[in-house]
Amino acid sequence: MPSETRVKICGLRDVAALDAAVGAGANYVGLVFFPKSPRNVSIAEAAVIAQATPPGVAKVALVVDADDALLDAITAQVPLDILQLHGHETPARVREIRARYGLPVMKAVGVADEDDLAALDTYAAVADQILVDAKPPKDADLPGGNGLSFDWRLIAGRRWPVPWMLAGGLTPDNVREAIARTGATQVDVSSGVEAAPGVKDAERIAAFCAAAHSDPD
C-alpha cells in the first residue's frame, strides 16, 4: 500500500510544470512572489497557473515579509488555498494575516540547531501549519530554495499541535530517508526537482513524488 505522505512542489512558473506536478500526484503546488527568487512569478502568471490547477490540489502563495498591499493584490487576483509566510513575520503578523484574508497560513521556520526549535512551538500556536526548513546562510539572498538540508535528528519524533511539513535540501534521492528519520507526513521540494534554478524538471518531479509516496523501508 503506498505511503500517504503529502507532497508540495514549490516554485512553479508555468502550466507545464503544474501539469508535471499534478500528473506525479502532488498534493500542493507553490507559487513564489519574491523578486529575488529565480522562481518568482507575476500576479498575472500566478493567476493562470492557479486557474489551471485541478480541484483537490492546494494552491499555496509563498511571500516574504509581504505588506498588506501585496497580499491584497495577490488574494484578489489569484485563487488560493494557503498563504505561506517565509520571512521574519512575527506571531502577531501571522495572526493579522489569518484574520484579514480568511485563508489558512503556513509559517516557515528555519532550523540550524537546537536553539531554533523553540520558534517552531511559538509559530505552531498561531499558524495553521508550520514548514520546518533549513535556516539559510546569513549571506543568502533567498529564505528558502537554497538546496540546503539540516540535521534531521533535531526534529526526529517531535510533533506539534498543527500539521507540519519538512523542507530543506530534499531530492528524489533523499526524501525517503528524510521521511523515515523525521516521521514527516508532508514534504516540500523546490530546487531538488529542477534542471536549473527556476526550471522544473518533469522527470525529477515524478521521481520525487514516487519516492515520497512509496512504502517506507
What are the φ and ψ backbone dihedral angles of 108, each rounded to 5 degrees? Answer: -85, 135
Report d(CA 124, CA 130) in Å as an integer.
Answer: 6
Q: Is 10 a catalytic site residue? A: yes
Report d(CA 210, CA 24) in Å as an integer.
Answer: 7
Q: Is 209 a catalytic site residue? A: no
Q: Give the largest Cα separation in the chain, rounded.
A: 47
For the chain, the first-to-last Cα distance in angstroms comes to: 12
Active-site residue (options: 19, 65, 115, 133)? 133
Catalytic (active-site) positions: 10, 133
